[in-house]
Amino acid sequence: MAEDISQNLAPLKPKARFSLPIANVAMPLLSIVVAALAGAVIILLMGYDPLKAYAALAQGSFGNLMQTSETVKTAVPLLLCGLGIAFAFQSGAFNIGAVGQMYMGGLAAILVAGQFAGLPGWLHMLLATLAAFVAGGLWALLPAFLKVRYASNEIISTILLNYVAIYLVDYMVAGPIKSGGYGGAPTSWPVLAGVMYPKLVPQTQLHLGLIFALSAMVILFFVMRYTTLGQRVRIVGQNRVAATHAGIRADRVFLLAFFLSGSLAGLAGAAEILGYQARLISGFAPSTGYDAIAVALLGGHAPFLVGLSALFFAGLQTGAVAMEAIAKLPAQLVDLIRVLAILAVLAASSPRIVEFARKLQGEDRKW
Amino acid sequence: MVRAWWSRGWVRTTAILMAALVVFWIVLELAGEETRNIANGIFTILAAPEFVKAALIAAIPLLLAALGGLISELSGVLNMALEAMMLVGAFVAYTVADHSGSPWIGLLAAGLSGLALGLVHAVFTVTLRANQVVSAVALNLFAVAATALAFRVLYIHKTFQPAPGFEALHFPVLSDLPYLGVALFQHNILIYLALLLIPVMWFILYRTSWGLTLRSVGEHPMAANTVGIKVNRVRYIAILLSGTLVGMSGSALVSASGINAFQENLSAGRGFIAFAAVIFGRYDPIGAFLGTILFGLGDALQIRLQAYGVEVPYQLLLMLPYVITLLALVVFMRNARGPAASGTPFVEEGAG
């Protein structure tokens, strides 16, 4: 139907003289500009200086090498979760449970990394990472199983499981794996010495988790593009019935896709704990799993673009810290500006706007 | 289609609850003296009229949210932004009631704030045809940040104060009945209005032509369009109505807090539970009510167990409503079917 529309309208518009990729590049950029303007208005209304705030944002995100490394570090869990969500999306289901899967990954990582002293460091590290991978995967497998077996709506069950995972972590760090002698927020026992991910570059925050995330990105790209698994996942996502008729065991592919999706989020949890935080803290990544939905969306569910968009949202996050510290904006105001960016991305990627952009461009090729 | 009596939700609910009770009783028989004492305490809790009262109070915000969610859902637009509308509604209800001195003005303002959020959701999902789930996720993040920010700005320098709330009513004779009086007839007006909304909603959805229009838009928008129904306009109206109701549920949430006060992230996932209640209530106002009552019972039990000092960590008790909801989804979802066009935007032929 959409095709008919473009064919009907194509003759009305002369061909564009220049072929700026309006739909893919200009629209997202424009939407971010609009979000920035809206943010500026809000900042102004709250009685702060938007120019100063945005200067701090730029300075804090990519202002110097130190801050850039901080941003790249922040991008790691976003990228891993975003890739997971994108992968699940290809199989035709929404995984909103990255928060919970990441929490379970973090929990599994600290359970392994905080005990069993005496194992060789690299093996210990690997086992902790593997535990996080499996834990995240299983936490995603549960709603996928409920969907396949009982037709339970996966959107709602993944969200409910987020809350369960959050409370489980709260319980664990306040009880069974509580560390002694700390005031303030409950924290778990620390990661044992030698189990933390090694730093890639001394004096920066870049750690082994970045390698995991980048590998996941490349592997996912190859899986989706060149393997039968990728093809099966896509077919199942596009048409379950057709997939079944083509001899694909749709349920099995779906379960596998969800498991891997959760594993990637679990890996993000491990990257947070073993790469950076060194212990499990109650509420250690409250919004990463939700932001990752926007990351996947902005990246159009294509692995490399998801990487770029993870970097963008990470920049917003690290820049936000600077906005708070330098421009003295309240943290919630900064959160609000991030949400504006998400809404802008959503608008820019919506079919209506994309169609509009294509029309503007006078493009009549099939899409 | 006439459903067999045993496949009806409430029959199943009762059967499962009774089975659970039997299992519980057997476990108790096998357990020791100390456990039996605790169990006695729990039975005392359950038998008190205050328990039913608390369950009903806890269920009402969810009921309003679920009824709101139902309207939107039936029109074919997923409204997972229930959580956002509820939270913003709660904040607005509290703030406006606090400043104006009237809970009624607070309720009205909460409805309007929900309407505003509904409008945003509608622009994104109906006009722009953006992904309905992502739009809701973004709105939920927005609600958490915006209410936290506004709450800090407005109340940071003030000492904590409850806002004026709805007074508990007192009916002659009824309120003085043993057990039932406390359990059912000493609530505030909001609770009775919400309960009244169940049959009203049922009538509108199943006995008026607008209800039929709404459901046809959710079921087969193309067919509805062919007979001259403006699909997207109906959806807009549905989402706006939905937002208004859900915003008002925030007012009920503030009043259910017992102290008429707001705190950051007051809704804490209740919007999602309401969303689930719509589903396992089989897209029906009465089913949604039963679903929210299930949550209310769980919540009331959880709070009382905490207060009773049962040696279960409170974090695990807090988990209970979500686990119950998840189980309910699994148990009641079989054969349940939502509107066919749920989640898919409608593109009119030739428009674009």
Question: Which of A13, A155, A356 to probe by mutation at the B interface, max B CB count within 10 Å?
Answer: A155
pLDDT range class, residue B192, cuts 50, 70, 90: very high
Task: Assess A304–B contact: CB distance below 8 Å, yes or no.
Answer: no
What's the number of CA atoms in the CB half-sphere (13 Å) around residue A300? 12
Question: Given a cut of 80, is residue B348 above it in pLDDT?
Answer: no
**Tens of pLDDT, residues B206-253:** 999 999 999 999 989 999 999 989 999 999 999 999 999 999 999 999
The partner residue sitting opposite B330, judged by closest CB among A150, A155, A355, is A150
C-alpha dihedral sign at B300, B305, B308, B314: negative
Q: What is the pLDDT of residue B309?
A: 66
Chain A residues with CB-CB distance to B152 below 8 A: 330, 332
Please identify among residues 15-54 of chain A the ones whose CB lies closer than 8 Å to any CB of chain B.
46
| Residue A159: both structure tokens together | 């969200």
> Is the CB of residue A167 less than 8 Å from the CB of residue A96?
no
Query: How far are the Cα atoms of A24, A201, A282, A308 from residue A78, in angstroms, in the given order?
Result: 21, 20, 19, 11
**Contact between A294 and B330 using a beta-carbon 8 Å cutoff:** no
**Contact between A347 and B153 using a beta-carbon 8 Å cutoff:** no
CA gap A112, A123 in Å, rounded: 11
In angstroms and rounded to an integer, the radius of gyration of the C-alpha atoms of chain A is: 22
CA gap B162, B160 in Å, rounded: 7
Distance from CA of B15 to the nearest CA of A (A): 19
The conformational region for residue A181 under phi > 0 = left, psi -120 to 50 = alpha, else beta, is: left
- Low-confidence residues of chain A, pLDDT below 70? 1-25, 180-184, 362-367
**Contact between A339 and B145 using a beta-carbon 8 Å cutoff:** yes
CA gap A313, A196 in Å, rounded: 25
Q: Chain B: residue nearest A5 by CA?
A: B350
C-alpha dihedral sign at A194, A198, A201, A207: negative
**Contact between A350 and B273 using a beta-carbon 8 Å cutoff:** no
Question: How many residues belong to chain A?
Answer: 367
> Is the CB of residue A173 less than 8 Å from the CB of residue A110?
no
Domain ranges within chain B, ordered by starting residue: 48-162+184-333
**Contact between B316 and A167 using a beta-carbon 8 Å cutoff:** yes
Distance from CA of B120 to the nearest CA of A (A): 10
Q: What is the pLDDT of residue B4?
A: 61
Amino acid at A185: A
Task: Assess A151–B contact: CB distance below 8 Å, yes or no.
Answer: yes
pLDDT range class, residue B336, cuts 50, 70, 90: low
> Is the CB of residue B297 less than 8 Å from the CB of residue B112?
no
Our separate counts of H helices and E strands in chain B read 14, 0
Domain ranges within chain A, ordered by starting residue: 77-313
Q: Which of A65-74, B4-13, B281-290 is predicted least confidently?
A: B4-13
pTM of the full structure:
0.86
Spell out the SS3 assignment of A110-141: HHHHCCCCCCCHHHHHHHHHHHHHHHHHHHHH
Greater confidence (B3 vs B184) lies with: B184
| Residue A245: both structure tokens together | 């008729």
pLDDT range class, residue B2, cuts 50, 70, 90: low
Q: What number of other Cβ atoms are within 10 A of residue B268's Cβ? A: 18
User: From 1.10.3470, 3.80.10, 1.10.1760, 3.10.450, which CATH number describes the B48-162+184-333 domain?
Assistant: 1.10.3470
Chain A residues with CB-CB distance to B313 below 8 A: 171, 174-175
Q: What is the biggest distance separating any 2 CA atoms in chain A, rounded to whole angstroms? A: 74
Question: How many residues belong to chain B?
Answer: 352
Q: What number of other Cβ atoms are within 10 A of residue A277's Cβ? A: 19
Per-residue DSSP letter, A199: B
Q: Chain A: residue nearest B320 by CA?
A: A164
Query: How far are the Cα atoms of A71, A75, A249 from residue A204, in angstroms, in the given order?
Result: 11, 14, 46
- State which of A239-243, B15-19, B161-165 shows the largest mean pLDDT: A239-243
Question: Which of B12, B62, B91, B131 to probe by mutation at the A interface, max A CB count within 10 Å?
Answer: B131
CA gap A176, A204 in Å, rounded: 33
**Contact between A5 and B316 using a beta-carbon 8 Å cutoff:** no
**Contact between A355 and B352 using a beta-carbon 8 Å cutoff:** yes
Distance from CA of A302 to the nearest CA of B (A): 17
- Mean pLDDT, to the nearest integer, of B9-28? 77
SS3 A86: helix
Q: What is the pLDDT of residue A182?
A: 57
> Is the CB of residue B115 less than 8 Å from the CB of residue A330?
no
What's the number of CA atoms in the CB half-sphere (13 Å) around residue B276? 32
Distance from CA of A123 to the nearest CA of B (A): 33
Chain A residues with CB-CB distance to B273 below 8 A: 160
Question: Given a cut of 80, is residue B337 above it in pLDDT?
Answer: no
Q: Give the H or E element holding residue A189.
A: strand A187-190
| Residue A269: both structure tokens together | 């949890």
Q: What is the pLDDT of residue B349?
A: 62
Q: Chain B: residue nearest A94 by CA?
A: B133
The partner residue sitting opposite B330, judged by closest CB among A146, A167, A347, is A146
The partner residue sitting opposite A346, judged by closest CB among B130, B146, B272, is B130
Q: Tell me the ipTM for this assembly.
A: 0.83
Cβ neighbourhood burial of A3 (10 Å; 0-12, 13-18, 19+): exposed
Q: What are phi and psi of B281, to 5 degrees?
A: -85, 10
**Contact between B276 and A160 using a beta-carbon 8 Å cutoff:** yes
- Mean pLDDT, to the nearest integer, of B259-270? 85
Per-residue DSSP letter, B164: P
Chain B residues with CB-CB distance to A92 below 8 A: none
Distance from CA of B86 to the nearest CA of A (A): 17
